[in-house]
Structure 1
Amino acid sequence: MKTTAPSQVRKQENALFFTWQLRAIVFLAAIASPSAKAEIYVFGQQLSFPKYGAMGTILARDYITPQQLCGQSKCDTTYLWAYPNGGGSTSSSTTITTKVSGISIRLLINGRAYGTGPIWGELSQPIEVQLVRYGQILGGPLGDAASSRYYGITYDISSTAAVLDTVKLTGTVTSIDGTCSVPSQTVKLPKTSINSLDRIGSTAGTQSFQLRINDCPKGYNRIGYTLDPVGGAIANSPGVLPLASGSTASGMKIRVENAQGVPATMGTSIKVDGYNKAADGSFAIPMQASYIRTDTVATPGTVNGTMTVLLDYR
């Protein structure tokens, strides 16, 4: 099994029909300046990010629940205003700049990013707010409670007049000149008889190893790592890696586990225990890997799997 530590992350789009445009004109005329019902604050904490990194990297996420927005489990959203740099004119772009150089913000409703425009539909899941890198981060305040309105969201309640909620950013960003590193490594499992994998789900040939996260600089509030199986996660098979190139066996794969033999969590950021923002350091996370029988019919041969280790900082 081979692990590597690349950089990170990913992107979206939009269309209107004439009937939507007409409805938007009528709607805007009716609610040109609705009074705000609530102010919603996102992030609101001390955040620390590497000064340099890959463009488009999602640096942090926060969420707004329907209950926060309209006080109910579902909200009928109608329109969104997006304000670059926390005020002034609006923008139709799905990603807008913040007051901090190098950091932009994106708001996703039902999984879709929006700029200023109509958002007709029922909101039943939390709105995701992302901080995204667009260049070198210099640090500074994202905003405060008195200003920095980045979004306005209107919604209808029981067919009454539209209500506006304002989304503001608070908190301060610290820029840190340095990141951790994860060295590539190959873990070799011992040769194992196919007879020891006699049924689906059985494991054998366990090999211990350490996931090494080295040279972490001081200053971050949190450092996390995410295990990402190359080839994608396998449904209902926690910790199992897809067969990688060079594999000749069938009906079996490799499963990654923690030191106690519990399948490793894939695709979710895990805090690096032991890291202290007051000091730099390196860390070794004990893990293990095993062969696992995955199909009724199996044939002997080589079994290879690969996962990537992604690091995140706050």
Structure 2
Amino acid sequence: MTTVLVTGGAGYIGSHACKALARAGFTPVAFDNLSTGWAEAVRFGPLERGDLLDRAAIDAAMEKHRPVAVMHFAALSLVGESMQDPGRYWRVNLGGALNLIESAVAHGVKNVVFSSTCATYGDQDGVVLDEDTPQRPINAYGGSKRAIEEVLGDFGASHGLRRVIFRYFNVAGADPEGELGEQHQPETHLIPLMLEAVAGKRPALTVFGEDYPTRDGTCLRDYVHVTDLAQAHVLGLRWLLEGKEDRVFCLGSGTGFTVKEVIAASRAVTNREVPVVMGARRAGDAAALVSGSRRAVEELGWEPQHSSLRQMIGDAWAWAQKPGYQR
């Protein structure tokens, strides 16, 4: 079988990507230091425990498994933390990616699918972001991801490294079959925080501001189901293996949902009230951030079949009621 090295393969998105790869006939090898991932989520191929800042560990995994491609998810990803400690984000995200890219080239691996972010666009409020939108990151998280995109381009020019890059905003939901789900420590994402409040695991969900210029005053954001996102990455891999050109794809709904709409959908799905506390605006929060996916639909043939708000919340709610992974 064809092997793919999946960095961050024990994490939320990476583990779902490993499942999608296995279903598509690949052997996913999860490379993860387990700082935020879960060994229990590695169910579809071997786990190589290692850190991207350890070049020798990457080389050893490359030599052992001889992958045809790398799928790169591993990164620090908390925007607020990246503003408080930018050095750590640049060192880990960019330094780790550089080690990975250099190791891939040294071992003859010329195909990289990179999980980037719409945070590379910065605060471009109220427009649908697409592949041609100028990138203007405003924090070290978005900046480091944009830099990795540029490094990939440089290695493409000098070493023939080929890449597909995906940019997207909020990932939500859980494996509809119940094998995998979202569990972060600490949790920072709206839907799992909301469901923790519904389940009584936290006192309430805090809504930060209700005076934004949106249809109900709360921030509007784009969401994509994690299963749909994983499938896009498999399509991106096939794109490269078929010899097609380097490409950037944005993944999103193009419309998005407000915080109040997410809360209302939760009530309909769970049949429970969401305890809510209204808070002040957070510094740096844009009113509306959405991403289009026309190119991915038209060129990759991507079909986001699970990304209705009801299914994303429903699958996340089903997962939230399972034991999950406990450290």
Q: TM-score, normalised by structure 2?
A: 0.29
Higher relative contact order (CA 8 A, sep 6+): 1
Structure richer in strand, relative to its length: 1
Q: TM-score, normalised by structure 1?
A: 0.30
Structure richer in helix, relative to its length: 2
Rg larger in structure = 1
